[in-house]
Amino acid sequence: MENALSGQETADAARSGCDGRSLIGALEYGYQLLAANKEEINRLNVFPVPDGDTGTNMLLTLEAALQAGRQAESAHAGEVAQAIYRGALMGARGNSGVIFSQCLRGVAEALADSAEITAATVVRALRGASDSAYAALQEPQEGTMLTVARETAEACEAAPAADTVADVLSSAVAAAERSVARTPQLLDVLRDAGVVDAGGQALWLLAEGARRYVAGEAVEHVELPTGERALLPEIAAVTETLYGYCTGFLVSGGGLDVMELRDAVAERGTSVVVVGDEDLLRVHVHTHEPGDVLGLARATGNLHRIEIFNMDDQHERMQSALADGDLPGIEVAAPVEAPEPVEQCVVAVADGEGLREIYEQMGATIVSGGPTMNPSTQEIYAAVEAANARHVFVLPNDKNVILAAQQTQDLAESEVHVLPTYSMVHGIAALFAYQADLAPADNGEAMQAAAASTQYGAITLATRNATVDGVSVAQGQWLALANERVCAAEDSESAALAAAIAQMGPESAELATLYHGEDVSQDEAGAMAKRMQEQLPGLDFEVIYGGQPHYPYLLTLE
């Protein structure tokens, strides 16, 4: 990858100030270091399963950011930074990619009026990156990449004023490394798994790449810190009992105060997200009194796209998806002329020949992707637009896709409803409740209720030793997961499957459906179902070809 400046030119730029081309060059160095360590970061996961994808998601998000940045028409640092942010937002993949895009948003806002980047503006940009990422989440989780961004900014602010950009970046790299190393002290799941935060580790690599670029050093492979390794805990969803009304809307006006409105809304409900700028805010809250929240917001500006769902019948185990999505300055190309839109439809993320066919037969528009390759915001948005419906229900089918899906809510002309489905088989259960002749609000409630009442699980081979959810796991054992939690590690495939079913409560179910993966034959799946039937005579077993990678069996109990 070619850099705008190199060698002595780069060192000179570090002393005199860097423009937008230098910002691209610094990120390209970071890209190369991240690419060299992508698989290492992918393997670092709380769940020792073969689908860790933090490194891939961060890399693809950065690639989209760089592509957009290179198309900027000027070298003005602020304009290039804004283009980089827009590219990252549209190309964001997974939770880590979406949060990283918000870091870049903060950088763009800090550099908005700066033609060049100096030591002082770098410090300001680091603070902006941290503040923007934290503002995107109502309940930010410490011990994640958020902490690394914040502690890096704080360290650079506390240090004596630096003379050069290179000096600031050296301080940032040292602070980021210290912060990453202590993330297990802040999150029990990291400590138990013997890892550090993967997203934070990726931020450290990007900072180190920028430092090398500005210092005029060669970009080459870098050894990740030894000892504890990294992981991105799932912070896209907050576990809580859902109750009252899920309420979302936009507020437009002038001089809007994000923090003031967020604090006021937080007094009236839970799972609060308020993001945006002084001209447009996106609000999401779970509340018993949506009218109070709407009245409060109406006093600050004009309300748009009000969406309210009754969630009293939700099951306690359901997690609430955080609504995000202020996209200031994003220009979306006008859609080509199309037939009159239909009233409603479903867009689903799916992988595996059999699972894709099931969704297609049930009328869903498919976005290719799954646990090992999360689709980008742009890919989900394209599917939403292609669906040509007034209301679009999106089934992310992976908790690491929910944030990216939510970014489409303020891009699309359609009303986009993102349902928190965490597995492709979980999404199928929701889709069974969909009826084209129901009102959209009724469909939303029916699909949410169906997903909430469905137990789902999976088995796979453990990729490393770990302790997760209180279960000691050895590499090569069969790992049983039930409703996103590890419940057992067994030496045989059948024992793991039986453990998953037992954890899901077979006594209250009538039907168990086994979706066998690409490496399991129909005969093998049938034999497995027969074995489970003998152990659990009160359950009927159905075998369906899913064709999914990495997971020999996905399953649901109904």
Which of 154-158, 166-170, 306-310, 432-436 comes out lowest in average pLDDT?
306-310
- The per-type count for the chain, helices as H runs and strands as E runs, is 21, 18
Domain ranges across the chain: 7-215, 238-333, 339-437, 455-557
Residue 45: the pLDDT is 66
What is the average pLDDT value for the chain, to the nearest integer?
Answer: 82
User: Other C-beta atoms within 10 Å of 191: how many?
Assistant: 16
User: For residue range 464-500, what is the model confidence (pLDDT) as tens digits?
Assistant: 888 888 899 998 999 999 998 999 999 999 999 999 9
Which of 156-170, 201-215, 313-327 comes out lowest in average pLDDT?
313-327
Residue with tokens 């870049």: 104
CA distance 257 to 296: 13
Residue 378: the pLDDT is 85
User: For residue range 260-309, what is the model confidence (pLDDT) as tens digits?
Assistant: 887 888 788 765 666 666 777 767 676 888 888 888 888 888 887 676 65
Higher confidence at residue 503 or residue 44? 503
Residue 466: the pLDDT is 84
Residue 85: the pLDDT is 92
Contact residues for 496 (Cβ-Cβ < 8 A; gap 6+): 459, 477, 478, 479, 480, 488, 489, 490
Longest dimension (CA), the chain: 77
User: Other C-beta atoms within 10 Å of 542: how many?
Assistant: 12
User: How is residue 279 annotated by DSSP?
Assistant: S
Residue 48: the pLDDT is 62
Return the ∠ at Cα 373 (arms to 367 and 376), rounded to 5°: 55
Residue 7 predicted with pLDDT over 50: no
Residue 529 predicted with pLDDT over 80: yes
CA-closest candidate to residue 230, choices 268, 185, 190: 190
Residue 13: the pLDDT is 42
User: Other C-beta atoms within 10 Å of 455: how many?
Assistant: 22
How would DSSP label each residue in 156-202?
HHHSPPPSSHHHHHHHHHHHHHHHHHTHHHH-HHHHHHTB--HHHHH
Residue 320 predicted with pLDDT over 70: no
User: For residue range 198-253, what is the model confidence (pLDDT) as tens digits?
Assistant: 889 999 999 999 999 998 887 766 655 543 333 322 222 222 333 467 677 778 88
Q: Domain 339-437, what fold? A: Rossmann fold (3.40.50)
Residue 115: the pLDDT is 93
Residue 162 predicted with pLDDT over 90: no
Domain 7-215 has what CATH class?
A: mainly alpha
Which of 131-135, 228-232, 374-378 comes out lowest in average pLDDT?
228-232
Residue 11 predicted with pLDDT over 50: no
Q: What is the 3-state secondary structure (H, E, C) of 343-357?
A: EEEEEEEECCHHHHH
Distances in Å between the alpha carbon of 519 and those of 460, 479, 494, 499? Answer: 12, 17, 15, 21
Residue with tokens 């100096």: 118
Query: Same topology for domains 7-215 and 339-437, yes or no?
Result: no
User: For residue range 399-416, what is the model confidence (pLDDT) as tens digits?
Assistant: 889 988 988 887 888 999
Residue 514: the pLDDT is 95
- Identify the CATH number of the domain defined by range 455-557: 3.30.1180
Backbone angles phi, psi at 519, to 5 degrees: -100, 10
Higher confidence at residue 118 or residue 242? 118
In which order are the strands placed within the sheet that holds 365-368? 365-368, 342-350, 389-395, 415-418
Domain 238-333 has CATH 3.30.70: yes
CA distance 358 to 502: 26
Show the tokens assigned to 313. 């019948």
Contact residues for 450 (Cβ-Cβ < 8 A; gap 6+): 429, 430, 432, 433
